[in-house]
Chain A
Amino acid sequence: MVQIEKKPSRTKDDNRLFLIFLLLSIILLLLPGSLKFNLFFYPRVILLTPLNLSLRFLAELSQLRQENLRLKALTTQLQIENIGLKEIIRTQVKQLTPPSFDSTLPNFTLKRAQVVSRDRLTLVSYLLLNQGEQAGVKVNMPVIAEMGVVGKVIATSPFQALVETMLSKDSKIAGVDLRSRVTGVVTAHPPNRLRLLYVPRDADVTVGDTIITSGLGGIFPKGFLIGTVVKTNPEQNSNHSALFKDILLKPFVDIYATEAVYIITGETERPKTKRPRTDWDKLLEQFKIEPPIEIKIR
Protein backbone atom coordinates (compact mmCIF):
# COMPACT_ATOMS: atom_id res chain seq x y z
CA MET A 1 0.00 0.00 0.00
CA VAL A 2 1.40 3.28 -1.02
CA GLN A 3 1.32 5.96 1.62
CA ILE A 4 0.93 9.44 0.30
CA GLU A 5 2.84 11.94 2.36
CA LYS A 6 0.77 14.98 2.96
CA LYS A 7 2.71 18.21 2.37
CA PRO A 8 1.92 21.09 4.72
CA SER A 9 -0.10 23.53 2.69
CA ARG A 10 1.10 27.11 2.72
CA THR A 11 -1.99 28.46 1.04
CA LYS A 12 -3.95 28.64 4.26
CA ASP A 13 -1.18 30.62 5.99
CA ASP A 14 -0.92 32.97 3.05
CA ASN A 15 -4.65 33.54 2.96
CA ARG A 16 -4.66 34.21 6.68
CA LEU A 17 -1.85 36.75 6.29
CA PHE A 18 -3.71 38.37 3.43
CA LEU A 19 -6.85 38.69 5.53
CA ILE A 20 -4.89 40.20 8.44
CA PHE A 21 -3.26 42.81 6.16
CA LEU A 22 -6.57 43.53 4.47
CA LEU A 23 -8.28 44.06 7.80
CA LEU A 24 -5.44 46.29 8.95
CA SER A 25 -5.66 48.45 5.84
CA ILE A 26 -9.43 48.81 6.17
CA ILE A 27 -9.07 49.81 9.84
CA LEU A 28 -6.42 52.38 8.89
CA LEU A 29 -8.65 53.69 6.15
CA LEU A 30 -11.53 54.19 8.56
CA LEU A 31 -9.52 55.92 11.29
CA PRO A 32 -10.11 59.67 11.70
CA GLY A 33 -7.72 61.90 9.76
CA SER A 34 -6.14 63.70 12.75
CA LEU A 35 -5.45 60.41 14.54
CA LYS A 36 -3.80 58.96 11.43
CA PHE A 37 -1.71 62.10 11.06
CA ASN A 38 -0.47 61.99 14.66
CA LEU A 39 -0.02 58.22 14.71
CA PHE A 40 2.31 58.14 11.72
CA PHE A 41 4.10 61.42 12.27
CA TYR A 42 7.47 59.90 13.25
CA PRO A 43 7.50 57.11 10.62
CA ARG A 44 6.78 59.82 8.05
CA VAL A 45 9.64 61.97 9.28
CA ILE A 46 12.08 59.03 9.30
CA LEU A 47 11.11 57.49 5.96
CA LEU A 48 10.83 60.78 4.07
CA THR A 49 14.08 62.29 5.39
CA PRO A 50 16.24 61.06 2.45
CA LEU A 51 13.71 62.50 0.02
CA ASN A 52 13.62 65.86 1.78
CA LEU A 53 17.41 66.00 1.94
CA SER A 54 17.77 65.14 -1.76
CA LEU A 55 15.21 67.74 -2.81
CA ARG A 56 16.87 70.37 -0.64
CA PHE A 57 20.27 69.49 -2.11
CA LEU A 58 18.92 69.83 -5.67
CA ALA A 59 17.31 73.17 -4.84
CA GLU A 60 20.59 74.41 -3.33
CA LEU A 61 22.49 73.29 -6.44
CA SER A 62 20.17 75.28 -8.64
CA GLN A 63 20.56 78.34 -6.38
CA LEU A 64 24.34 77.95 -6.40
CA ARG A 65 24.39 77.87 -10.18
CA GLN A 66 22.40 81.09 -10.40
CA GLU A 67 24.55 82.68 -7.71
CA ASN A 68 27.69 81.67 -9.60
CA LEU A 69 26.43 83.26 -12.81
CA ARG A 70 25.48 86.44 -10.94
CA LEU A 71 28.88 86.64 -9.24
CA LYS A 72 30.72 86.14 -12.53
CA ALA A 73 28.80 89.01 -14.08
CA LEU A 74 29.48 91.10 -10.98
CA THR A 75 33.21 90.29 -11.13
CA THR A 76 33.35 91.50 -14.71
CA GLN A 77 31.50 94.67 -13.86
CA LEU A 78 33.78 95.32 -10.87
CA GLN A 79 36.86 94.62 -12.97
CA ILE A 80 35.74 97.26 -15.43
CA GLU A 81 34.99 99.72 -12.63
CA ASN A 82 38.32 98.99 -10.98
CA ILE A 83 40.30 99.73 -14.11
CA GLY A 84 38.22 102.86 -14.75
CA LEU A 85 38.82 104.13 -11.22
CA LYS A 86 42.55 103.46 -11.49
CA GLU A 87 42.57 105.46 -14.69
CA ILE A 88 40.76 108.39 -13.05
CA ILE A 89 43.08 108.39 -10.06
CA ARG A 90 46.14 108.21 -12.30
CA THR A 91 44.92 111.09 -14.48
CA GLN A 92 44.04 113.29 -11.50
CA VAL A 93 47.25 112.53 -9.65
CA LYS A 94 49.09 113.70 -12.74
CA GLN A 95 47.05 116.91 -12.73
CA LEU A 96 47.81 117.36 -8.99
CA THR A 97 44.14 117.59 -8.13
CA PRO A 98 42.35 115.50 -5.54
CA PRO A 99 40.20 112.70 -6.89
CA SER A 100 36.68 113.84 -7.59
CA PHE A 101 34.32 111.11 -6.65
CA ASP A 102 31.45 112.30 -8.79
CA SER A 103 33.42 111.61 -11.94
CA THR A 104 31.40 109.58 -14.35
CA LEU A 105 32.52 106.05 -15.09
CA PRO A 106 31.14 104.41 -18.19
CA ASN A 107 28.46 101.85 -17.41
CA PHE A 108 28.62 99.04 -19.92
CA THR A 109 25.70 96.92 -21.01
CA LEU A 110 26.93 93.35 -21.09
CA LYS A 111 25.39 90.40 -22.86
CA ARG A 112 26.41 86.99 -21.56
CA ALA A 113 27.11 84.38 -24.24
CA GLN A 114 28.26 80.78 -24.19
CA VAL A 115 31.10 79.55 -26.40
CA VAL A 116 29.48 76.90 -28.58
CA SER A 117 32.31 76.18 -30.99
CA ARG A 118 35.99 76.92 -31.69
CA ASP A 119 38.14 76.97 -34.79
CA ARG A 120 39.45 73.52 -35.59
CA LEU A 121 43.08 74.49 -36.17
CA THR A 122 44.18 76.38 -33.06
CA LEU A 123 41.05 76.24 -30.85
CA VAL A 124 41.71 79.79 -29.68
CA SER A 125 41.75 82.03 -32.77
CA TYR A 126 38.01 82.14 -33.36
CA LEU A 127 35.06 81.43 -31.08
CA LEU A 128 31.43 80.92 -31.99
CA LEU A 129 28.95 82.34 -29.47
CA ASN A 130 25.30 81.50 -28.91
CA GLN A 131 24.08 85.11 -29.06
CA GLY A 132 23.54 86.95 -32.32
CA GLU A 133 21.68 89.81 -33.97
CA GLN A 134 18.47 88.87 -32.12
CA ALA A 135 20.24 89.76 -28.86
CA GLY A 136 21.55 93.04 -30.27
CA VAL A 137 25.03 91.79 -31.12
CA LYS A 138 26.74 93.61 -33.96
CA VAL A 139 30.05 93.40 -35.79
CA ASN A 140 33.02 95.06 -34.05
CA MET A 141 31.50 94.79 -30.59
CA PRO A 142 34.19 94.06 -27.97
CA VAL A 143 34.08 90.71 -26.20
CA ILE A 144 35.45 90.35 -22.67
CA ALA A 145 35.64 87.74 -19.92
CA GLU A 146 35.94 88.05 -16.16
CA MET A 147 39.69 88.75 -16.36
CA GLY A 148 39.91 91.00 -19.42
CA VAL A 149 39.76 91.28 -23.19
CA VAL A 150 38.87 88.24 -25.33
CA GLY A 151 38.44 89.74 -28.79
CA LYS A 152 35.84 91.34 -31.03
CA VAL A 153 32.83 90.22 -33.02
CA ILE A 154 33.65 89.89 -36.72
CA ALA A 155 30.48 88.31 -38.08
CA THR A 156 26.94 87.77 -36.88
CA SER A 157 23.87 85.75 -37.73
CA PRO A 158 20.43 86.00 -36.04
CA PHE A 159 21.40 83.60 -33.24
CA GLN A 160 25.20 83.35 -33.35
CA ALA A 161 28.26 85.56 -33.42
CA LEU A 162 31.81 84.83 -34.55
CA VAL A 163 34.56 86.28 -32.39
CA GLU A 164 38.11 86.92 -33.48
CA THR A 165 40.16 86.52 -30.31
CA MET A 166 43.30 88.46 -29.46
CA LEU A 167 45.26 85.23 -30.09
CA SER A 168 44.23 85.29 -33.76
CA LYS A 169 47.02 86.30 -36.14
CA ASP A 170 44.80 89.00 -37.65
CA SER A 171 44.02 90.64 -34.31
CA LYS A 172 45.48 94.04 -33.48
CA ILE A 173 44.56 95.90 -30.29
CA ALA A 174 45.87 99.28 -29.19
CA GLY A 175 47.42 98.82 -25.75
CA VAL A 176 49.00 101.01 -23.11
CA ASP A 177 51.25 100.29 -20.16
CA LEU A 178 49.23 101.04 -17.03
CA ARG A 179 52.31 102.26 -15.15
CA SER A 180 54.37 104.19 -17.69
CA ARG A 181 51.61 105.03 -20.25
CA VAL A 182 53.75 103.73 -23.11
CA THR A 183 51.52 102.77 -26.00
CA GLY A 184 51.83 100.02 -28.58
CA VAL A 185 49.89 97.52 -30.63
CA VAL A 186 49.11 94.11 -29.18
CA THR A 187 49.22 91.19 -31.60
CA ALA A 188 49.19 87.44 -31.21
CA HIS A 189 52.32 85.42 -30.60
CA PRO A 190 51.39 81.75 -31.10
CA PRO A 191 50.49 79.57 -29.41
CA ASN A 192 49.26 81.43 -26.34
CA ARG A 193 51.22 84.65 -25.86
CA LEU A 194 50.87 88.21 -27.09
CA ARG A 195 53.39 90.73 -28.30
CA LEU A 196 53.41 94.48 -27.78
CA LEU A 197 54.72 96.05 -30.97
CA TYR A 198 56.06 99.46 -31.89
CA VAL A 199 57.41 100.29 -28.43
CA PRO A 200 60.64 102.32 -28.69
CA ARG A 201 63.85 100.66 -27.41
CA ASP A 202 64.28 103.17 -24.63
CA ALA A 203 60.64 103.08 -23.47
CA ASP A 204 59.95 102.35 -19.80
CA VAL A 205 58.33 98.92 -19.98
CA THR A 206 59.47 96.27 -17.51
CA VAL A 207 58.55 92.72 -16.62
CA GLY A 208 55.38 92.62 -14.48
CA ASP A 209 53.78 95.72 -16.03
CA THR A 210 50.10 95.52 -16.88
CA ILE A 211 48.99 96.32 -20.40
CA ILE A 212 45.44 97.60 -20.86
CA THR A 213 43.44 98.78 -23.82
CA SER A 214 44.22 102.40 -24.71
CA GLY A 215 40.86 103.22 -26.29
CA LEU A 216 42.52 104.09 -29.59
CA GLY A 217 41.06 102.40 -32.64
CA GLY A 218 37.48 102.89 -31.54
CA ILE A 219 36.58 99.27 -30.89
CA PHE A 220 37.78 98.51 -27.38
CA PRO A 221 36.91 101.03 -24.66
CA LYS A 222 39.79 102.34 -22.61
CA GLY A 223 40.98 100.40 -19.59
CA PHE A 224 40.33 96.71 -20.19
CA LEU A 225 43.02 94.30 -19.08
CA ILE A 226 45.00 92.64 -21.88
CA GLY A 227 48.02 91.00 -20.27
CA THR A 228 51.14 91.27 -18.17
CA VAL A 229 54.66 91.74 -19.50
CA VAL A 230 56.61 88.50 -19.05
CA LYS A 231 59.67 89.28 -21.14
CA THR A 232 61.36 92.35 -22.63
CA ASN A 233 64.39 91.94 -24.80
CA PRO A 234 65.95 94.98 -26.46
CA GLU A 235 69.11 93.08 -27.43
CA GLN A 236 67.39 90.38 -29.41
CA ASN A 237 67.77 90.69 -33.18
CA SER A 238 64.14 90.33 -34.04
CA ASN A 239 62.28 92.18 -36.79
CA HIS A 240 61.80 95.27 -34.71
CA SER A 241 64.79 95.09 -32.43
CA ALA A 242 66.77 97.80 -34.23
CA LEU A 243 64.18 100.41 -33.40
CA PHE A 244 61.69 98.78 -31.09
CA LYS A 245 61.61 96.75 -27.93
CA ASP A 246 60.60 93.10 -28.11
CA ILE A 247 57.88 92.70 -25.47
CA LEU A 248 56.12 89.45 -24.72
CA LEU A 249 52.82 89.42 -22.83
CA LYS A 250 50.87 86.75 -21.02
CA PRO A 251 47.15 87.34 -21.60
CA PHE A 252 44.93 87.66 -18.53
CA VAL A 253 42.20 85.59 -20.12
CA ASP A 254 42.85 81.90 -20.66
CA ILE A 255 41.01 81.55 -23.95
CA TYR A 256 41.59 77.77 -24.01
CA ALA A 257 39.47 77.45 -20.87
CA THR A 258 36.89 80.14 -21.62
CA GLU A 259 33.35 78.79 -21.70
CA ALA A 260 31.33 81.97 -21.32
CA VAL A 261 32.08 85.55 -22.32
CA TYR A 262 30.40 88.97 -22.22
CA ILE A 263 29.71 91.07 -25.28
CA ILE A 264 29.69 94.82 -24.65
CA THR A 265 26.52 95.78 -26.46
CA GLY A 266 26.29 99.36 -25.24
CA GLU A 267 27.77 102.08 -23.09
CA THR A 268 25.84 104.55 -20.97
CA GLU A 269 26.97 107.28 -18.61
CA ARG A 270 26.59 106.47 -14.92
CA PRO A 271 24.15 108.91 -13.28
CA LYS A 272 25.92 111.51 -11.14
CA THR A 273 25.42 111.01 -7.43
CA LYS A 274 26.00 113.57 -4.74
CA ARG A 275 29.15 112.87 -2.77
CA PRO A 276 28.37 111.97 0.86
CA ARG A 277 29.59 114.34 3.57
CA THR A 278 32.90 113.24 4.97
CA ASP A 279 34.91 114.10 8.09
CA TRP A 280 36.95 116.42 5.90
CA ASP A 281 33.82 118.49 5.10
CA LYS A 282 32.80 118.59 8.74
CA LEU A 283 36.29 119.76 9.74
CA LEU A 284 36.25 122.54 7.14
CA GLU A 285 32.83 123.68 8.34
CA GLN A 286 33.89 123.56 12.00
CA PHE A 287 36.88 125.82 11.50
CA LYS A 288 35.16 127.89 8.83
CA ILE A 289 38.03 127.36 6.45
CA GLU A 290 37.58 127.69 2.74
CA PRO A 291 39.58 125.03 0.95
CA PRO A 292 42.14 126.34 -1.52
CA ILE A 293 40.77 126.63 -4.99
CA GLU A 294 42.99 123.82 -6.37
CA ILE A 295 41.63 121.22 -4.00
CA LYS A 296 38.09 122.48 -3.70
CA ILE A 297 35.86 119.52 -3.52
CA ARG A 298 32.98 119.69 -5.96
Chain B
Amino acid sequence: MKILFQLLLIYFLFLIQAGIAHYAPDLVMLALVIFALNEPKKAVLTLSCFAGFCLDLVTPQTFGFNLLLLILTGFSVSNLRTMVYYANRYALVLLAIALGLKYGLGFLLFRVMPPVLEVLLSSLATLLLMLPFSFFKSKHYEY
Protein backbone atom coordinates (compact mmCIF):
# COMPACT_ATOMS: atom_id res chain seq x y z
CA MET B 1 0.00 0.00 0.00
CA LYS B 2 2.82 2.35 0.88
CA ILE B 3 4.49 1.79 -2.48
CA LEU B 4 1.20 2.64 -4.18
CA PHE B 5 1.08 6.03 -2.48
CA GLN B 6 4.70 6.61 -3.38
CA LEU B 7 3.98 5.76 -7.01
CA LEU B 8 1.04 8.16 -6.99
CA LEU B 9 3.19 10.88 -5.48
CA ILE B 10 5.85 10.34 -8.14
CA TYR B 11 3.15 10.50 -10.84
CA PHE B 12 1.70 13.70 -9.35
CA LEU B 13 5.14 15.32 -9.21
CA PHE B 14 5.79 14.20 -12.78
CA LEU B 15 2.57 15.92 -13.92
CA ILE B 16 3.61 19.15 -12.20
CA GLN B 17 7.10 18.98 -13.65
CA ALA B 18 5.85 18.22 -17.15
CA GLY B 19 3.23 20.98 -16.84
CA ILE B 20 5.80 23.64 -15.97
CA ALA B 21 8.12 22.32 -18.74
CA HIS B 22 11.13 24.66 -18.99
CA TYR B 23 12.82 25.96 -15.84
CA ALA B 24 10.90 23.41 -13.75
CA PRO B 25 12.72 21.97 -10.74
CA ASP B 26 13.45 18.27 -11.13
CA LEU B 27 10.77 17.22 -8.65
CA VAL B 28 10.82 13.57 -9.68
CA MET B 29 14.57 13.30 -9.11
CA LEU B 30 14.20 15.09 -5.78
CA ALA B 31 11.50 12.69 -4.60
CA LEU B 32 13.50 9.72 -5.79
CA VAL B 33 16.62 10.77 -3.87
CA ILE B 34 14.51 11.24 -0.73
CA PHE B 35 12.90 7.83 -1.16
CA ALA B 36 16.29 6.28 -1.89
CA LEU B 37 17.57 7.55 1.45
CA ASN B 38 14.65 6.11 3.39
CA GLU B 39 13.07 3.16 1.64
CA PRO B 40 14.16 -0.40 0.89
CA LYS B 41 16.20 -0.93 -2.24
CA LYS B 42 13.54 -2.96 -4.05
CA ALA B 43 10.94 -0.22 -3.57
CA VAL B 44 13.45 2.40 -4.72
CA LEU B 45 14.17 0.42 -7.89
CA THR B 46 10.44 0.07 -8.64
CA LEU B 47 9.90 3.79 -8.08
CA SER B 48 12.95 4.63 -10.23
CA CYS B 49 11.63 2.47 -13.04
CA PHE B 50 8.17 4.07 -12.92
CA ALA B 51 9.56 7.62 -12.64
CA GLY B 52 11.98 7.07 -15.51
CA PHE B 53 9.23 5.57 -17.67
CA CYS B 54 6.93 8.55 -16.99
CA LEU B 55 9.63 11.10 -17.81
CA ASP B 56 10.54 9.20 -20.98
CA LEU B 57 6.96 9.48 -22.20
CA VAL B 58 7.41 13.24 -22.57
CA THR B 59 10.62 12.85 -24.61
CA PRO B 60 9.96 9.98 -27.02
CA GLN B 61 13.15 10.69 -29.05
CA THR B 62 15.38 9.77 -26.12
CA PHE B 63 13.15 7.08 -24.68
CA GLY B 64 15.10 5.01 -22.14
CA PHE B 65 17.47 7.76 -21.06
CA ASN B 66 15.50 8.87 -18.01
CA LEU B 67 14.86 5.27 -17.10
CA LEU B 68 18.56 4.53 -17.15
CA LEU B 69 19.43 7.70 -15.29
CA LEU B 70 16.90 7.28 -12.49
CA ILE B 71 17.67 3.58 -12.01
CA LEU B 72 21.36 4.44 -11.67
CA THR B 73 20.58 7.32 -9.31
CA GLY B 74 18.16 5.36 -7.14
CA PHE B 75 20.42 2.36 -6.85
CA SER B 76 23.54 4.44 -6.17
CA VAL B 77 21.92 6.57 -3.48
CA SER B 78 20.39 3.47 -1.87
CA ASN B 79 23.84 1.89 -1.66
CA LEU B 80 25.55 5.06 -0.49
CA ARG B 81 23.17 5.64 2.39
CA THR B 82 24.41 2.46 4.11
CA MET B 83 27.96 3.71 3.95
CA VAL B 84 27.53 7.10 5.55
CA TYR B 85 26.01 8.12 8.84
CA TYR B 86 23.40 10.85 8.88
CA ALA B 87 22.71 10.24 5.22
CA ASN B 88 20.29 13.12 4.93
CA ARG B 89 23.06 15.54 5.65
CA TYR B 90 24.55 14.41 2.41
CA ALA B 91 21.24 14.49 0.58
CA LEU B 92 22.04 17.84 -1.00
CA VAL B 93 25.41 16.59 -2.26
CA LEU B 94 23.85 13.37 -3.57
CA LEU B 95 21.17 15.33 -5.39
CA ALA B 96 23.74 17.69 -6.88
CA ILE B 97 25.72 14.69 -8.13
CA ALA B 98 22.53 13.15 -9.57
CA LEU B 99 21.70 16.37 -11.41
CA GLY B 100 25.26 16.57 -12.73
CA LEU B 101 24.94 12.96 -13.89
CA LYS B 102 21.66 13.81 -15.63
CA TYR B 103 23.07 16.63 -17.72
CA GLY B 104 26.50 15.03 -18.16
CA LEU B 105 25.12 11.71 -19.31
CA GLY B 106 22.62 13.45 -21.55
CA PHE B 107 25.39 15.42 -23.21
CA LEU B 108 27.60 12.33 -23.59
CA LEU B 109 24.86 10.21 -25.13
CA PHE B 110 23.04 12.72 -27.34
CA ARG B 111 25.48 15.66 -27.65
CA VAL B 112 22.61 17.93 -26.65
CA MET B 113 22.51 20.30 -23.71
CA PRO B 114 19.63 22.55 -22.61
CA PRO B 115 20.41 26.30 -22.32
CA VAL B 116 22.84 27.03 -19.47
CA LEU B 117 20.41 29.41 -17.75
CA GLU B 118 17.69 26.77 -17.77
CA VAL B 119 20.07 24.14 -16.34
CA LEU B 120 21.26 26.50 -13.61
CA LEU B 121 17.83 27.75 -12.58
CA SER B 122 16.25 24.30 -12.65
CA SER B 123 19.11 22.74 -10.63
CA LEU B 124 19.12 25.61 -8.16
CA ALA B 125 15.37 25.30 -7.61
CA THR B 126 15.70 21.55 -7.09
CA LEU B 127 18.52 21.96 -4.58
CA LEU B 128 16.62 24.68 -2.72
CA LEU B 129 13.60 22.42 -2.46
CA MET B 130 15.84 19.70 -1.03
CA LEU B 131 17.24 22.03 1.62
CA PRO B 132 14.47 21.58 4.25
CA PHE B 133 14.72 17.82 3.96
CA SER B 134 18.43 17.86 4.75
CA PHE B 135 17.70 18.90 8.33
CA PHE B 136 15.76 15.75 9.15
CA LYS B 137 17.40 12.57 10.33
CA SER B 138 17.40 9.62 7.98
CA LYS B 139 15.72 6.42 9.13
CA HIS B 140 18.89 4.53 8.29
CA TYR B 141 21.51 6.61 10.01
CA GLU B 142 21.95 3.87 12.62
CA TYR B 143 23.69 1.54 10.15
Ordered nearest first, which 9 A-B pairs have the shortest CB separation? A29-B64, A28-B64, A25-B68, A25-B67, A14-B41, A36-B63, A44-B57, A21-B71, A18-B75
How many residues of B sit at the interface, in one of the four size bands?
20 to 34
Inter-chain contact A17/B45, CB cutoff 8 Å? yes
Inter-chain contact A21/B45, CB cutoff 8 Å? yes
Q: A17-B45, A25-B67, A47-B57 are in contact. List 12 more A-B contacts (CB 8 A).
A: A11-B41, A14-B41, A18-B41, A22-B72, A24-B67, A25-B64, A28-B67, A29-B64, A29-B109, A37-B63, A51-B15, A55-B19
How many residues of A sit at the interface, in one of the four size bands?
20 to 34
- SS class, residues of chain A in contact with chain B: helix
**Can you list 27 contacts pairing A with B, beta carbon distance less than 8 Å?**
A10-B41, A14-B45, A17-B45, A21-B48, A21-B49, A21-B71, A24-B67, A25-B67, A25-B71, A26-B64, A28-B56, A28-B64, A29-B62, A29-B63, A29-B65, A29-B68, A31-B64, A33-B60, A36-B60, A36-B63, A40-B56, A40-B60, A43-B53, A48-B58, A51-B15, A51-B18, A54-B15
The contact string, 1 if C-beta is below 8 Å from chain A, for chain B 59-92, is 0111111011001100100000000000000000
Inter-chain contact A25/B52, CB cutoff 8 Å? yes
Residue among A28, A30, A31 facing the most chain B CB atoms (10 A cut-off)? A28
Inter-chain contact A37/B67, CB cutoff 8 Å? no
Chain B hits for A50, CB < 8 A: 15
Chain B hits for A279, CB < 8 A: none
| A13 in the interface (beta carbon within 8 A) | yes
Measured between alpha carbons, how far is A26 from B72 in the docked complex, in Å? 12
Residue among B49, B52, B57, B72 facing the most chain A CB atoms (10 A cut-off)? B57
Inter-chain contact A48/B49, CB cutoff 8 Å? no
Chain B hits for A27, CB < 8 A: 64
Measured between alpha carbons, how far is A27 from B45 in the docked complex, in Å? 17
**Shortest distance from the beta carbon of B101 to any chain A beta carbon, whole Å:** 14
Interface residues of A in 1-22 (CB under 8 A from B): 10-11, 13-14, 17-18, 21-22
Measured between alpha carbons, how far is A50 from B56 in the docked complex, in Å? 17
Inter-chain contact B42/A14, CB cutoff 8 Å? yes
Interface residues of B in 1-52 (CB under 8 A from A): 11, 15, 18-19, 40-42, 45, 48-49, 52
